[in-house]
Each structure stands twice: as C-alpha cells, then as structure tokens.
Amino acid sequence: MRTLALPTAGNAGAAWAAYGARAGLEVVVVMPETTPSVIRREAAACGADVYLVPGSIADAGDVVRDGCDRYGWYDASTLKEPYRVEGKKTMGFELVEQLGWRLPDVIVYPTGGGVGLIGMWKGLDELRAVGWLPADAPLPRFVAAQSAGCAPVVRALAEGAERAAPWERPETFAAGIRVPRPLGDFLILRALRETSGTAVAVPDEAIAATMELAGATEGMVVCPEGAAALAAAATLRRGGWIGADQTVVVFNTGTGLLYEDSLPGRAPWRLEAGEAITVMVDGPQDGAAPRGPREGGRPGRG
C-alpha cells in the first residue's frame, strides 16, 4: 500500500497524516467543510491531501469508498482497519496505571465513531485476562456523551436497539462527535449495556457553557467534545446516577485551541499607545464597556 484514505470528523485525519508522514505513505483525508480550520490545516501541515465535502463524516465516507475502489487506496475508515482500536486501548491502560492499578467506578467519554470507548472496554478486559487486574474486577460503568444535535447512540440505547439508526440532520459544533451512523454502533451499545453504563445527550448550549466553566474555574481550555463529557458527568451526578463517593474519569479528548471560533471568554480591550487601564469599581454590568473603544465589553473589576 502506498496511499491511505479516510473520512474523518477532523482530528483522526490529522493523526493519520502525521503517522503517514513518518511511514512515508501518502494520506488522503476527506472531512466535512464545517471542520474547524485549524484541524484541516493540521492535517495539511503533515503533508496530507485534504478534501472538504458538504454534509457530515458519513458523506465523506462515501467519497473515500469511491476513491478506494477507483485507485486501490487503503481504506482507513474507523473500524474498517484493525489498528486504531488497538491504539485507543492505551487510554484504558494509562488511566488504570495512573490510578495505581485500580479501576474507576465510571468512565465518561465523548462518543462519535466509538473507537475510544470500544478500545478502552477491550483494553481493560485484556488487563483482566493477563492478570494485571483481578479476573473478577467489575469493569467501570461506561458513559457515552453525545451532542443533542447528533445522538444516535443515546437514542438506540433508550430504545433497547442493537444497532443505531442513522441520525437524520446531525448538527453540533462539537465536530468530533458529529457522527450520524457509527460503524461500530453495536459494539458501543454492547459496551454500555455490559458495563451497566448509559448514554447522555448534551445540548450545544450546555457544551459551550461547560467549555467556559472549565476555563474560568480550572484553567483548562477543553475541546467541545471534552466539555460534552464533563457536562454529561455533571448531569449524571445531579441525577444521582453517579454517587458522591465514586471515582469518575472524564475524558477531554483535545485542546479547545483547535476550535478557535468556539473559544469562550471575553474579547480583549484595546488600549491606545500609552493609555492606562481605568477600572470602574461598581459596574456597569451586562457587558457594557466602562470606556472605549474596545473589541468587547466587560464589567469593571475593582
């Protein structure tokens, strides 16, 4: 094989482009035109040929399949190749190692194609099989976090289905979990059911608010997908599904810096050369600027 091709919601394309560069292989990446521009450019910066298509990763998949048929490229679509799930097992290995060889009670993961969740499920099971964890250790309850704008797994789990029906109009700014028909749906659903887990749909407004919260309270610039997982964990804690004394691992799968247009926070104030900062101690609130001009308003600090 000289050329790998894959459809991607974005980040996998950049990752495969990097591996392809190291391996001396051509990489063709097809992604939705709505993919944040830094992610597109990351794949291109690693030498990949990047194509944009209207629609979702499912539409990108059709284009890749056609290219593979015509040019004999290797189809590196999620779960059509055997390696990615093996790589994602390392998330399970690392979390157990970092917890001192204990399993958490709950793992919350932002689920798109599902390889991360399936990989961790497989990896933890293998740790039991080789005796690095007790053979009878109960696996953590897995939680799939999705956007309410594209939640095929949440719907299928609620309906008791073994496969997830395609989501009709996938809409979310959390690009990585905008996957309307995950190929491994039946494996994701098995992982959730066999671990007594669940799936949670988070509205995009809550994802955005959680990005802001993570930044302003923890100093973590999380990606929208990670914020969806964090919001799902909060929902489950509020509802009592997660107990106060439980160990919960929430995966933030990327940096928010890749999503420039969705970054929370106030716009900076612009000072003229030599101008000092003037702070109004008692307001105004509601974003009205105490003086201008500036790129955004903020209440005074005093």
Ligand X SMILES: Cc1ncc(COP(=O)(O)O)c(C=O)c1O
Minimum CB distance to ligand X, residue 185 (Å) = 11
112 or 242, CB closer to ligand X? 112
CA distance 26 to 20: 6
155 or 298, CB closer to ligand X? 155
Which residue number places its CB atom closest to ligand X? 176
What are the b/e assignments for 117-135, b being 16+ CB within 10 Å? bbbbbbbbeebbeeeebee
For residue 161, give both structure tokens: 């289905």
Residue 64 · residue 7 · CB < 8 Å? yes
Nearest one of 204, 206, 210 to 170, comparing CA atoms: 204
Minimum CB distance to ligand X, residue 267 (Å) = 25
For residue 188, the SS3 value is helix
The CA R_g of the chain, rounded to the nearest whole Å, is 22
Minimum CB distance to ligand X, residue 145 (Å) = 9
Minimum CB distance to ligand X, residue 118 (Å) = 8
82 or 239, CB closer to ligand X? 82
- Rounded alpha-carbon distances, angstroms, from residue 61 to 18, 135, 295: 20, 39, 41
112 or 152, CB closer to ligand X? 112
208 or 289, CB closer to ligand X? 208
Minimum CB distance to ligand X, residue 176 (Å) = 2
Chain residues binding ligand X by CB under 6 A are: 9-12, 110-116, 176-177, 223, 225, 253-254
